[in-house]
């Protein structure tokens, strides 16, 4: 059995295995060699930002998963003015397909509902078929494509 709770910002080192698992899954992305330090700083900033929230899934003292949510200003010309954004969701491999990601998402969706957020966005790598299927199961629709050009 596991529990979902807000992240305790005094124990962010417990998140390192989650971040390592996230990096391992995202083979198509190029991560900065200092990604853990950068991510740890990002996590610490969530504590003082009322428009961001992080939930963890825990099994006793082990962190099994992490989700981060944010409320962002939408483009000035688009409605609604504020949208939810999910910059991060990861679950340790040994806890996948056990409802952990689903429970983390449900907790975050309740927070968005309490904040009167009606639209939520996220990015998913095209080669991450597992994540794409997960988000589709929760009725997240693809509505934009993000493209890049690498100039050498």
Please say if the pLDDT value at position 68 is more than 80.
Answer: yes
pLDDT for residue 148: 84
Average pLDDT over residues 37-58: 94
Domains of the chain from N-terminus onward: 3-137 (3.40.630.30)
Are 121 and 83 in contact by the 8 Å Cβ rule? The answer is yes
pLDDT tier for residue 145 given thresholds of 50, 70 and 90: confident
Average pLDDT over residues 1-25: 92
pLDDT for residue 11: 82
Contacts of 62 (CB under 8 A, 6+ apart): 14
Long-range CB contact pairs, 93-101, < 8 A, 24+: 93/21, 95/2, 95/57, 95/59, 95/64, 95/65, 96/130, 100/2, 100/57, 100/64, 100/65, 101/65, 101/67, 101/134
Calculate what percentage of the chain has a pLDDT beyond 90: 74
pLDDT tens by residue, 87-136: 999 999 999 999 999 999 999 999 999 999 999 999 998 888 999 999 99
pLDDT for residue 76: 66
pLDDT averaged over the chain?
A: 92
Report the candidate in 61, 134, 140 with the shortest Cα–Cα distance to residue 103: 134
């Amino acid at each position: 059995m596991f529990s979902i709770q807000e992240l305790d910002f005094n124990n962010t080192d417990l998140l390192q295995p989650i971040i390592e698992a996230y990096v391992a899954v995202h083979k198509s992305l190029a991560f900065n060699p200092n990604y853990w330090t950068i991510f740890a700083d990002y996590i610490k900033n969530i504590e003082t930002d009322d428009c961001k929230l992080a939930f963890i899934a825990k099994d006793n003292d082990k962190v099994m998963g992490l989700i981060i949510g944010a409320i962002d200003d939408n483009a000035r010309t688009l409605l609604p003015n504020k949208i939810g954004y999910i910059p991060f969701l990861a679950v340790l491999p040994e806890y996948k397909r056990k409802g952990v990601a689903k429970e983390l998402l449900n907790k975050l969706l309740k927070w968005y509902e309490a904040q009167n957020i009606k639209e939520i966005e996220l990015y998913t790598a095209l080669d991450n078929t597992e994540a794409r299927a997960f988000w589709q199961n929760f009725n997240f629709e693809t509505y934009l494509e993000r493209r890049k050009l690498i100039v050498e």
